[in-house]
Amino acid sequence: MVASFFVPAFTVASSYSRAVGYFTSTSLALYSRGIEAFAERGGSMRLIASPHLDEVDIMDIERGYGVREVIERATIRELEMESCDIVLDGLSLLGRLIAEGRLDIKLAFIEHEGRVGIYHEKIGVFRDGLGDLVGFTGSSNETYGGLMANFESVEVYRGWVAGDGTRALRLEADFQALWANQTPNLSVERFPDVVRERLIKLGSERPHRPVPGRDNALTPSVARVSEPARLSIPNWLMVRDYQKKAVQEWLTRRGRGVLKMATGTGKTKNAMIAATQLGNVLRQHEQPLVILIVAPLQHLVDQWITEVQGFGVRPVAVYESSQKWLPIVEEQLAEARMGQRPVVAMVATNASFSGNKFQSVLSRITQPILVIADEAHNLGSSTYRSSLPKNATYRLALSATPERWFDDEGTDALIDYFGPIVFELGLGQAIKMGALTQYLYVPRLVELNDYEADLYVDLTTQIATRMAAGEELGKADPDSPLGFLLRQRAGVLGHAEGKLAALREDLSARSDSWFQLVYCAEGHRPTHPEEPQGPNQLRDVMKLVGNELGLSAHPYISETPRPERKKLLRRFSTGDDLRLLVAMRCLDEGVDIPDARTGYLLASSSNPRQFIQRRGRLLRRAEGKERAEILDYLAVPPPGTPINFAVERALLTRELQRANEFGKLSNNYETTLEVLRPLKERYQLMDM
């Protein structure tokens, strides 16, 4: 296309109008022979392109930041990233054309209801001094890959040929509407003045020398201009010995296996180190690597994107509308097939990963695929495990708790797909080696009030009836009648009114402390049938913290919008704004808040994964953080409550197992034992 279309057209044209999804100055290096003849004749250019917005830019716009401000920042960032002489020569030519008034640039994007999408159309029009025109449209972007490396096509309509002329004029009219910002659903903005001035300055200061023409377009020097970066371990990252061992064990097993590592020990970086090593091996065989990272939630995808960028590659975020990610994914995979992109990295939510559109993309990939599953236990569900790509050569699962709760079938399916646990790093070992911080554990026993005790006895009696009929606690399906009763019982304990009084006392003693998390029970306290809905603990805690104690706090729940969550975490981490985050069904899996120092666990499910994740949130290392403190509120019926002793003893055993698990690795285990002793004695559990 460069040799047979663009260069000859520039050689005779007097004007060039181009609207395209992506434009880079490397395209000037390819058809610069025609451009210089075009410039010498006083030719003029108008260019409309999509700004290069990353995820942070898009989220800032969605949060209400000024669109022009964000676009200016993004455009400056792209300009400052360029350092290669060939690219700078191309940019200086742009600057000279702008300075001479023969090049004008605008930026186009979709903005609808606070969300931003990319402009991905590709049309162009050449005109000459006699008024003849050539219109064209097709798949090619104005990038090195789009013009030379990819398999692309353009349809060309000559204005002087019957039938073609109407089409060429229609394309010109489309461009004119774009330029005038009259195209529905699109916003077209002026090129930022500050970037325009920088280009003009570059054009005046940089020596005027010809950019390599099409004769050199296929030489390695030009190919390197737009060659995407490869994965590399950042210089600032100190790879720990246990991380080296984990990667070695995984590679030894031909790139398949599970890393079972305590929350906060760097599983994400471990995975990227492994991906980098694998990419280095494949590069020796001139093979690309397609990396697919699957994470349960959008905020985890955002965290992964930051991590991958730290290793030198910008990944594609696969969530929300496929119109945002599908064209980019397809383009990068095409570049990988053509040998022009050594690494394609995609980060998807579980939901988008299992969707039909992304599954269709996965099924067509023939290059080596590495699947990295974050919080891999989630993919063992019947909903997701069938979506795991069979054509993935390399597979890496990450989880502190890969075993699925009451789901042996799902656990076995994960092991069958990813391979066995190849490396394990427990919490105790991680604390001992300094990968996690030390902590204090403070169990707080709270007695149920009369109403709660009555409801608790009723539920326990129903549980005892089902156990007498042969149902087992350890095998209860969460969706079974027994599972429902167990959830109701846990709800009574979690929402116990006495926990608020204990929390008030503990918060008052720590009112000057920052970086505190409160984990509330979910929903409302259960009630007897036909009674009004019980109290909501989150609401009560916010009233206690803000109104009664006057502490700055904010709820952090599943309904909190993703941009707002990021803002809250930033405010929390400053240590001078929010003292507390009050969470319900959030701040468990994967949320990176290393500054958190004090955690109040008003409720936890019996599923060990939840309390392991919550403890992990508090044990991450941070500057100035010497240790963490975990306060765990355990509700119990008052002594003398008429209750089935054997059933209550069995149920309480599960509660005490959690407390013992927390306490045994703390710096004050003896305190835990002392607090729990009366309860153990009452229920004859001293052997625990």
C-beta of residue 549 within 8 angstroms of C-beta of residue 507: yes
Question: Which residues of the chain are under the pLDDT cut of 50?
Answer: 26-31, 83, 145, 211-227
How high is the pLDDT of residue 406?
62
Determine the Cα–Cα distance for residues 343 and 313; give it in Å rounded to an integer: 8
Q: Closest Cα partner for 11 from 27, 35, 45, 44?
A: 35
Determine the Cα–Cα distance for residues 433 and 295; give it in Å rounded to an integer: 28
Token output for 302: 């955002």
Strand pairing class (598-601; 516-519): parallel
How high is the pLDDT of residue 29?
43
Token output for 509: 């003693």
Residue 364: alpha-carbon gap to chain centroid: 24
Q: Closest Cα partner for 423 from 252, 555, 172?
A: 252
C-beta of residue 31 within 8 angstroms of C-beta of residue 56: no
pTM of the complete model beyond 0.85:
no
C-beta of residue 53 within 8 angstroms of C-beta of residue 70: yes
Strand pairing class (103-112; 553-557): unpaired
Task: Give 56's Cβ-side CA count (13 Å radius).
Answer: 11
Residue-range domain boundaries for the chain: 2-207, 242-432, 438-682
How high is the pLDDT of residue 212?
46
How high is the pLDDT of residue 23?
58
How high is the pLDDT of residue 223?
35
- The dihedral formed by the CA atoms of 487, 490, 492 and 498, expressed in degrees to the nearest 10: -160
In CATH, 2-207 is 3.30.870.10 = yes
> Positive or negative CA dihedral for 352, 355, 356, 360?
positive
First to last CA, the chain: 77
C-beta of residue 491 within 8 angstroms of C-beta of residue 606: no
Q: CA of 616: how far to CAs of 261, 359, 435, 683, in Å?
A: 11, 33, 12, 30
How high is the pLDDT of residue 116?
65
User: Over the stretch 264-275, which tens digit does the pLDDT of each residue have?
Assistant: 888 999 999 999
Asked whether the domain spanning 438-682 has the same topology as the one spanning 2-207, the reply is: no
In CATH, 242-432 is 3.10.180.10 = no
Q: Can you tell me which residue has the tokens 């060309």?
A: 156
Determine the Cα–Cα distance for residues 380 and 416; give it in Å rounded to an integer: 10
How high is the pLDDT of residue 79?
64
C-beta of residue 425 within 8 angstroms of C-beta of residue 262: yes
Strand pairing class (316-318; 369-373): unpaired
Q: Is 663 exposed, middle or buried (0-12, 13-18, 19+ CB in 10 A)?
A: buried
User: Over the stretch 410-458, which tens digit does the pLDDT of each residue have?
Assistant: 889 999 999 999 999 988 999 998 889 999 999 999 999 999 999 999 9
User: Left (φ > 0), alpha (ψ -120 to 50) or beta: where does 531 sit?
Assistant: beta
Name the CATH topology of 438-682: Rossmann fold (3.40.50)
How high is the pLDDT of residue 648?
83
User: Over the stretch 304-346, which tens digit does the pLDDT of each residue have?
Assistant: 999 999 999 999 999 988 888 999 999 888 888 877 789 999 9
**DSSP assignment string, 284-320:** HTT--EEEEEEESSHHHHHHHHHHHHHTT--PEEE-S
How high is the pLDDT of residue 257?
96
C-beta of residue 436 within 8 angstroms of C-beta of residue 262: yes
